[in-house]
């Protein structure tokens, strides 16, 4: 098994030299594998605050790749259409090539992050019944959209998404339903790991047939807020996600590995 994997890894590293480089995101490098598939290489890079804070952490690429693979497989099993094909090496993922929808989708179960910041700045009013402290439950959850291909991600209203021709009203409804289902599946899976899914970001893309499916990565500590349930019940927020880096409250690899180990107990 190990030698088979090593062979595949060596093959990938030899192939990588010959693959066409497409682009780099904040944490991933993208290569063209064929006309209709791409390879994502998960790196050890981490950035926050629109790229203003940057660093690298050993093993981060491998841990996030494995966690994304874990969730893609679970979501597929539960009927969520995704771009995931397979992971040829511990840090790379083969995916279907898509036409990426130019909005990012955020699902929130608890008050945190930019929602809290925008509320405290007086920029938004909160939906009825939502508390105003970090960690307040958002009854029923809420969805938000932000721009994807602008210099800085900004919240965008559904009217603007429709008038820009980014998504139709029906497609927004479809994405709302799919994102809620993703939230419910991941939250349900996490109950036995003692972790709360506070919020997350996902992206979607269109296949050549026009079907909208889940793209990018999902369920990783780069794109979700995960809180330890036992601490939360005592009134504290203990993060196992990128907030550790954003807030300078610990070693990112240690936090990501702790999350990974808790998921592994859940048969990663």
Closest distance of CB 73 from ligand 5GP, Å:
20
Tokens of 163: 């008038």
Closest distance of CB 74 from ligand 5GP, Å:
18
Q: Which is nearer to ligand 5GP, 12 or 185 (CB)?
A: 185
Closest distance of CB 262 from ligand 5GP, Å:
17
Binding site for ligand 5GP (CB under 6 A): 106, 112-115, 153, 199-201, 222-225, 242
Cα distances from 89 to residues 10, 14, 92, 128, 165, in angstroms, run 9, 12, 5, 47, 38
Distance CA 133, CA 153 (A): 24
Distance CA 223, CA 158 (A): 22
Q: Which is nearer to ligand 5GP, 5 or 120 (CB)?
A: 120
Distance CA 22, CA 205 (A): 17
Pair type for strands 137-147 and 195-206 = unpaired
Residue 165's contacts (CB-CB under 8 Å, 6 or more residues apart) are none
Q: Which is nearer to ligand 5GP, 87 or 244 (CB)?
A: 244
Residue 97 and residue 35 in contact, taking contact as beta carbons nearer than 8 Å:
yes
Closest distance of CB 233 from ligand 5GP, Å:
21
Q: Which of 17, 205, 13 is nearest to 98 (CA)?
A: 205
Sign of CA pseudo-dihedral 41, 43, 46, 47? negative
Closest distance of CB 203 from ligand 5GP, Å:
9
Q: Which is nearer to ligand 5GP, 11 or 249 (CB)?
A: 249
- B/e letters for 78-110, b = 16+ CB within 10 Å, e = fewer, are eebebbbeebbbbbbbbbbbbebbbbbbbbbbb
Q: Which is nearer to ligand 5GP, 44 or 199 (CB)?
A: 199
Q: Which is nearer to ligand 5GP, 97 or 242 (CB)?
A: 242
- Among all residues, whose Cβ is closest to ligand 5GP? 113
Q: Which is nearer to ligand 5GP, 205 or 223 (CB)?
A: 223
Closest distance of CB 99 from ligand 5GP, Å:
19
Closest distance of CB 5 from ligand 5GP, Å:
27
């Amino acid at each position: 098994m190990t030698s088979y994997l090593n062979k595949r890894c060596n093959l990938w590293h030899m192939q990588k030299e010959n693959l066409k480089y497409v682009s780099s995101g904040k944490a991933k490098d993208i290569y063209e594998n064929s006309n209709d598939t791409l390879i994502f290489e998960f790196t050890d890079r981490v950035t926050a605050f629109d790229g203003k804070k940057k660093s690298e952490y050993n093993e981060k690429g491998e841990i996030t790749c494995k966690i994304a693979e874990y969730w893609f497989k679970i979501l597929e099993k539960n009927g969520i259409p995704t771009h995931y094909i397979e992971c040829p090496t511990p840090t790379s993922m083969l995916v279907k090539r898509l036409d990426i929808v130019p909005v990012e989708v955020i699902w929130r179960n608890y008050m945190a992050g930019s929602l809290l910041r925008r509320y405290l700045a007086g920029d938004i009013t909160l939906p009825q019944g939502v508390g105003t402290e970090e960690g307040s439950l958002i009854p029923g959850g809420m969805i938000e959209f932000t721009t994807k291909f602008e210099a800085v991600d900004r919240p965008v209203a559904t009217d603007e998404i429709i008038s820009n021709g980014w998504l139709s009203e029906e497609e927004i409804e479809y994405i709302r339903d799919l994102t809620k289902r993703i939230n419910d599946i991941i939250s349900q899976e996490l109950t036995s790991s003692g972790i709360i899914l506070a919020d997350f970001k996902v992206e979607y893309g269109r296949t050549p047939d026009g079907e909208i499916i889940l793209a990018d990565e999902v369920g990783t500590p780069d794109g979700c807020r995960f809180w330890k349930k036992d601490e939360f019940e005592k009134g504290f927020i203990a993060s196992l996600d990128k907030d550790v880096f954003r807030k300078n409250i610990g070693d990112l690899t240690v936090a990501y590995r702790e999350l990974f180990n808790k998921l592994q107990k859940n048969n990663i």
